[in-house]
Structure 1
Amino acid sequence: MRLRPLIITGLALSMLGIGVPAWSATDPRSCNDLLSSDTPAYVVCNWMATPEEAADIARFWLENDGENMKEADPYFVGVDCDEAENACDPNLEGDGQLRGDGDPDVEGAEDGGTPECEQGGDSCYVNGSGVTQAEKTAAEQTETGKGAKTAQDAGMRVWIDAELADDWKTGKLEEAAKKVAALAAQDDVAGIRFSSQVGYNKVLGTADEMDKFVAEAAKALRTAVPGKKLGVHTVVPIFGCGGHEQCKTEIAKKHPQLDPDRIGAWLKRGLVDQLTLDNGHLSSEYTAYGIDAAQAQRNQWIQVRARAWDMYGQIGAEDAGFTAPGASKLTEEQAGKAIGERVAAVLQSDAAETVTLWTRWQDQQGTVNRVLGEKLADNATWEQLKKLGAVKARLATVYDPATPEVDPAADLKKLSEVFGQVYVRAS
């Protein structure tokens, strides 16, 4: 039996006038009748195998005293070198002995074995990490390291947010990647977002530079902290055009390096595990073509879904539109409408799995833009965002512990009221 929560909240649904898909009561795969009467409307139940199908499956394996089960040989991949017809290379690793589950591989392995370590033992890691214990310990004591731990204590899933494009341009990628890897080596850090606005902010001027940077940065980070997820943030302006041919032609000329096929290849090649696309540029980029922000957003996520990028990695949206100089000025009604359009609709598109909302940033003139008021003061926008508890795990924000509003502990506790994930900026 499978429960599938639809990614939308009752608040946003009502404001958008969008109904939950009607699951027919006569659908043989529906098991909605097994749900309690107080189950939220966005939760539905489907049988992976109906009771009748399950009975047929069990009958197939159990009938005739389990004859089919007995005749089903275990799947074996390998070569038995003791069989005369098999010619085995004597130089292969191992001692050639077959072993059962739970048997030690080599003498002493039952005690964990004793890995060979470098002099002093600093780099003795059986997981292949390129970060020494000393580097990891030092990173934990930085503002970023402490911020990551504080966010975890507040119940948030943590990513390290870094910018390595400038370091790559100046030939300092390895050094910078090692520093970021030490931060990500902390327990329970999910991964690293190693660049934002790739190709859009002009740090990397050509598509070839973008590809080379992403490939080399991914290789350096995967070598230093294997197993951690990697992500980037960028913009694909042509997506907002939808089917408008003039728009597509002009936008492609304006942003030739931001080709969707190249960007999609980062996912397909396994260079990144998460790709976040900007949602903010959609508000003004397409007005000359008669495409408003809502249409551009809809176009973008239709294009993403059509390319099935989510088959290769996690797709996210990013938006700074809820912030304003000083604090958000939205009324309760305006905030609810904006949430419905820019959060709920994005998640409901079934293309983006997460939405990252900026809650605080400072422009070049020194003006602080916030969602909350000064010193974390509540307002109408925050109260409406707090109602998105049903999708809290899919909501993320960005936090810089070097520029706190109050202090990291207070700030992150407040942010955890709305967000289940946080990108902690590396200083």
Structure 2
Amino acid sequence: MRRRLRQFFVIGLTLSLLGIGVPAWSQDDPRSCNDLMAEDTPAYVVCRWMATPEEAAEIAKFWLDNDGQNMIDSGPMDPIGIDCAEPGNECATDSEGDGEMHDVGEPDVEGAEDGGTPECQNGEQCYVDPSEITAAEKTAAQETPAGKAAQTLAQTNMRVWIETELADDYKAGKLAEAAKKIAALAAAQPGVVGIRFTSQLGYNQTFATADELDKFVAETATALRTLAPGKKLAAHTLVPLLGCGANDECKAEMTKKHPLADPERIGAWLAKGYLDQLALDNGHLATAYTTWQIDPAQAQRNQWIQVRARAWDAYAQIAAEDAGFAAAGASQLTEEQATKAITERIATPLQDDAAETVTLWTRWQNDQGQVNRVYGEKWASNAAWEQLKKLGTVRARLATIYDPANPEVDLATDLKNLSEVFGQVYLHTA
């Protein structure tokens, strides 16, 4: 198995080297695969074979023929050695490990097998739990509605995130206290994936300046990384500029109207590692671009082309978010309408390889107290919900947001029904 993995590594390395060449700006370039892209793809987004399918087959054949003899003959690269005794060479003396070579998968320190706690050479325990959350704080978190919901979810097959809003706490000077409470909730139940700490980031009016916005993201991410080590961090936002595509008038207006929802700033947050997941809302795509004759399908296509072109998925997981399936009382979509909506707003982002997951709001309440649902009241069946239940093959890529303080029926009933459609759930906590 180890040799086979090394074969694939060398093949991949060889293919990447073959990618060096003249950019595929035209269809006349033999390495161009622009013909596989949509007609309205911007000119700066190009497709180019690193190796054509025929070349890739020849490369694989060269390395794998004769039971991989060419791979065996290539041998390992000569190691680079440093003689610490040679004058002028300096070698660290405080490095971790025992200074000996180990096979892949073998623990570096004796006693660390099977997840055990290794001991330092002088006998004391050298592993320290980095979490600053106490047992009492975890116990208190378990008694909250979200804590109880997380325990109930442990009996389902859904992955769990904690969803909250820390922007107001940050502005009130209470970030440390609020972050610790959320971290305790994430730590209270084993299996919680991560924390989504803000929504409409840069789109709403919470922050007045770009510097203030940047400081919030940086300081909140740093606090949560310290308090909840190992948990992923996520944020939600809207970036209207992305839906404009190549329309300059649209881009100028969206930049003026939403100056903090800047793709370059968002890309910097991702590159710096502040976020592990970024959710992009689709709600504005339906009506925001009519002035420029950009319909919802075009706006969505423009957004995801821009996301791919910026390679945001190289830094974080990208999610699409949609509240449009829900309606006052319950969804009124017919089976045909529901199928069309699923195709356009769920299947398309996934098939375009732009979003890796899609988050649907299945139940939410507006400012007037009116409840909007995808399913019927008290889980009554309807066409939209029945069509969503048929998406079993992509269930792991579908997520929803659930407020355990405002259940439809009760925790057990609600979460059981949600688990029939969704592979992930964001537990909302105030």
Q: TM-score range by the shorter chain?
A: 0.7 to 0.9
Q: How far 1:62 moved relative to its partner?
A: 3.8
Residue 104 to residue 229, structure 1, CA distance change in 2 (3 Å)? closer
Instruction: Give the total of aligned pairs.
Output: 370
Instruction: After TM superposition, list the pairs within 5 Å mapping 1:26-65 onto structure 2.
Output: 50=60, 53-55=63-65, 58-63=68-73
- CA spacing shift, 1:329–1:103, aligned 2, 3 Å: closer
Match of 1:229 in 2: 232
Deviation string for 1:345-374 (max 9, x for gaps)? 111121111110000011111100001111
1:15 alignment partner in structure 2: none
Query: Secondary structure of 1:327's match?
Result: coil
The alpha-carbon deviation at position 256 of structure 1 amounts to 0.9
Amino acid at match of 1:142: T
SS in 2 for 1:160: strand
148 and 244 in structure 1: CA distance in 2 versus 1, 3 angstrom threshold = same
Gaps of 5+ in 2: 9-51, 112-116
Alignment of 1:332 onto 2:335: yes
Q: Distance in 1 between matches of 2:95 and 2:251?
A: 58
Identify the residue that residue 424 of structure 1 maps to in structure 2. Answer: 427
| Residue 198 of structure 2: aligned partner | 195
Distance in 2 between residues matched to 1:110 and 1:209, nearest whole Å:
43
Code of the residue aligned with 1:287 in structure 2: it is T
* TM-score calculated relative to the size of structure 1: 0.80
TM-score by length of 2: 0.79
Deviation for aligned residue 1:99: 3.5
SS in 1 for 2:198: coil
In the alignment, which residue of structure 2 is the partner of 1:396? 399
The separation in 2 between residues aligned to 1:210 and 1:329, in whole angstroms, is 39
- Residue 157 (structure 2) aligns with: 155
Distance in structure 1 (CA, Å) of the matches to 2:125 and 2:156? 37
Query: With CA pairs under 8 Å and 6+ residues apart, which has the higher RCO, 1 or 2?
Result: 1
Over 3 Å counting, the alpha-carbon distance change for 1:212 and 1:374 in structure 2 is same
AA paired with 1:412? L
| TM-fit CA distance, 1:50 | 3.8
Q: CA deviation at 1:164?
A: 0.2
**Matched residue of 1:419: which SS?**
coil
| 3-state secondary structure, aligned to 2:391 | helix
Partner of 1:136: 138
Provide the residue aligned with 1:294 in structure 2: 297
- Aligned-residue sequence identity (percent) comes to 59
Could you report, residue by residue, the CA deviation over 1:321-355 in whole angstroms, capped at 9, with x for unpaired residues? 00001100111111011111111111112111111
Give the aligned partner of residue 98 of structure 1.
99
Q: Cα–Cα, structure 1 residues 260 and 98, in superposed 2: closer, same or farther, change >3 Å?
A: closer
Q: 1: CA distance between counterparts of 2:425 and 2:350?
A: 18
Matched residue SS, 2:202: coil
Counterpart of 2:322, as a letter, is: D
Using a 3 Å threshold, how does the CA distance of structure 1 residues 152 and 52 change in structure 2: closer, same or farther?
A: farther
Tell me whether 97-106 or 173-182 shows the greater mean CA deviation. 97-106
Alignment counterpart, residue 205 of structure 1, candidates 203, 208, 228 = 208
1:72 CA drift (Å): 4.4
Distance 1:103 1:27, change over 3 A: closer
Per the alignment, in what secondary structure is the counterpart of residue 400 of structure 2?
strand
Contact 1:199–1:206 at 8 Å: present in 2 too?
no
Match of 1:342 among 342, 345, 349: 345
- Indicate the residue corresponding to 2:374 in structure 1: 371
1:175-194 → structure 2 map (5 Å cutoff) = 175-185=177-187, 186-194=189-197
